[in-house]
Amino acid sequence: MDDALAHLPRAFAGKTVLVLGDVMLDRFIYGAVDRISPEAPVPVIAVEKETAMLGGAGNVARNVAALGAKAVLIGLVGRDDAGAALRGMIDAEAGLEAELVVDPARRTTEKVRYISGSHQMLRVDREDRSPGDGAALLAAFETRLASADVVVLSDYAKGVLTPAVVRGAIDAAKAAGKPVIVDPKSRDFARYDGATLIKPNRKEAAEATGIVETSDAASEDAGAAILAMAPGLQAALITRGGAGMTLAVRNQPPIHLPATAIEVFDVSGAGDTVAATLALAVAAGASLAQAAQLANLAGGLVVAKLGTDVVTAAELTACASSAQGEPGEIKIADREQAQRIVEGWRARGLKVGFTNGCFDLLHPGHVSLLSQAKAACDRLIVGLNTDASVSKLKGPTRPVQKEQGRATVLASLSSVDLVVLFDEDTPLELIKAFRPDVLVKGADYTVETVVGSDVVLGYGGKVVLAELKQGQSTTNLIARMNS
């Protein structure tokens, strides 16, 4: 993995991405399915939760903001409840501004997904694909262009990116010296001529080129065919799902990037994450090959999350820093980031476990406890006392190892999925925040004396007392070393 990739996300701060395209409202309705309707052979969803978020070009902008940069969104909405909801979300999103053209004759594009467990059962679309006010869209685009570092055209074929708007936007961006990343929907890729990079998925590339095979060689041919369609286009990046990505840069050998996702949970919005990452990497001075590598990692991260989610700069930095670029290497998190990770685990139906300690000098007793804890759950969180907390509990000569070193050692264990530092005397606040299904401590405690046991048992969780390895103690180990 290129070492420079790990430093790229840090350069995103201060960059501005101008996003022009189809703004949508994404609604997710979650529920349980345990019976078939007596009226027709269809599942009955008992609704438990509903969420809504920015979709389409709005999700590209949301990903830009999550990556620590500024997004300016240009789009079209109707004068309706969905349009009002979108404007409210934009106002509430840090790092995101918008110039939304309101068309009273149109309805705001809205996608409603019904989800049970980890399965999408149904999607309902409400939309109007008639052309919008192209002149107003281009006027808003050109007003904001000077302050942008890069442009993204997010085309969902909902009436915003007409041929005239695409041509006007690309020409204006080129004249201003701004790179243009295109996420296409039209089969006519020639209409995007003059852009820096076009990012079709496998299906879109096949429809545009007629090359339907999915091999590396066929993808190379498709990339070459796309570049032949648009002489002013610099590069094409074909996203190929589980087969990874293929990058074709004019007058350069093609590059194949393997997929990086360890676990694919939901592909909703993954293309938007890739587009946002590509744009920011280019704005930060990366080569197209580096930008594609980083976007590939971002895509692997986001498909392991639930719904139309985003990737943060911290997650991407940690992923790029890993020797294998694996999302699973992100194990040391602050409380806010850990909360998001745990919510994602819960949404997948995973059983979350929690244990805690100082773990000053890791010994076989610790390893045994952590192994037993992991055996009782799907994902294990370790609450780790900070240096100040350890000193308060153990005395001024402790800890022997600083907190970052202790966290790094714990994170290297396959039994540990997440390490979160805490400064308090006890981990009670972490337990209340994460609400683990299983709370684990050593058998030198009783269930009643385990901190947080009343909380966990109160909501139906379980307390497990792990068997101890005799003679294993950090205090005794330090005493033997000193003697």
Spatial CB neighbours of 413, under 8 Å, sequence gap ≥ 6? 367, 370
- Side-chain half-sphere exposure of 51, counting CA atoms within 13 A: 12
pLDDT at 270 over 70: yes
| 126 has binding-site annotation | no
Q: Are residues 406 and 283 part of one domain?
A: no
Q: Rounded to an integer, what distance in angstroms lies between the CA atom of residue 192 and that of residue 190?
A: 5
CB-based burial, 257-274: b 16+ in 10 Å, e otherwise: bebbbeeebbebbbbbbb
With left for phi above 0 and alpha for psi between -120 and 50, is residue 117 left, alpha or beta? left
Predicted confidence (pLDDT) per residue in 101-135, tens digit: 999 999 999 999 998 876 889 999 999 999 989 99
For residue 373, the domain's CATH number is 3.40.50.620
Q: Please give the share of the chain, as a percent, with pLDDT higher than 90.
A: 67
Last residue in a domain, options 292, 321, 350: 321
Q: Are residues 84 and 218 part of one domain?
A: yes
Per the residue annotation, which of 22, 149, 183, 272 is the catalytic one?
272
Under the banding of pLDDT at 50, 70 and 90, the label for residue 479 is: low
Q: Are residues 372 and 412 part of one domain?
A: yes
Under the banding of pLDDT at 50, 70 and 90, the label for residue 363 is: confident
Gyration radius of the chain's alpha carbons: 25
Q: Are residues 302 and 416 part of one domain?
A: no
pLDDT at 340: 73
Q: Are residues 303 and 272 part of one domain?
A: yes
Q: Are residues 95 and 67 part of one domain?
A: yes
pTM of the model: 0.73
Q: Are residues 445 and 307 part of one domain?
A: no
pLDDT at 398: 80
pLDDT at 471 over 80: no
Predicted confidence (pLDDT) per residue in 24-58, tens digit: 999 999 999 999 999 999 999 999 989 899 999 99
270, 352, 353: which is closest to 306 by C-alpha?
Answer: 270
| 204 has binding-site annotation | yes
Structural element, H or E, at residue 271: helix 270-283
How high is the mean pLDDT of the chain? 89
Q: Rounded to an integer, what distance in angstroms lies between the CA atom of residue 19 and that of residue 64?
A: 10
Taking residue 17's Cβ as centre, other Cβ atoms within 10 Å add up to: 28
| 201 has binding-site annotation | yes
pLDDT at 313: 82
Q: Are residues 398 and 296 part of one domain?
A: no
| 203 has binding-site annotation | yes
pLDDT at 328: 41
Last residue in a domain, options 297, 321, 345: 321
The residue that leads in pLDDT, 4 or 305, is 4
The residue that leads in pLDDT, 320 or 55, is 55
The average pLDDT across 13-23 equals 97
pLDDT at 261: 56
pLDDT at 448: 93
For residue 183, the domain's CATH number is 3.40.1190.20
- At 125 the three-state DSSP class reads strand
pLDDT at 266: 44
- Give me 381's structure tokens: 């969180």
Q: Are residues 99 and 55 part of one domain?
A: yes
Identify the weakest region by mean pLDDT among 180-189, 192-201, 266-275.
266-275
With left for phi above 0 and alpha for psi between -120 and 50, is residue 357 left, alpha or beta? left
Beta strands in 37-135 (DSSP E): 43-56, 70-77, 96-102, 109-116, 119-126
Q: Are residues 356 and 270 part of one domain?
A: no
Show the domain range for 16. Answer: 1-321
Under the banding of pLDDT at 50, 70 and 90, the label for residue 327 is: very low
Q: Are residues 354 and 282 part of one domain?
A: no
Taking residue 100's Cβ as centre, other Cβ atoms within 10 Å add up to: 19
Q: Is 272 a catalytic residue?
A: yes
Q: Are residues 309 and 172 part of one domain?
A: yes
Total domains present in the chain: 2
- Give me 162's structure tokens: 């007409």
Last residue in a domain, options 295, 321, 347: 321
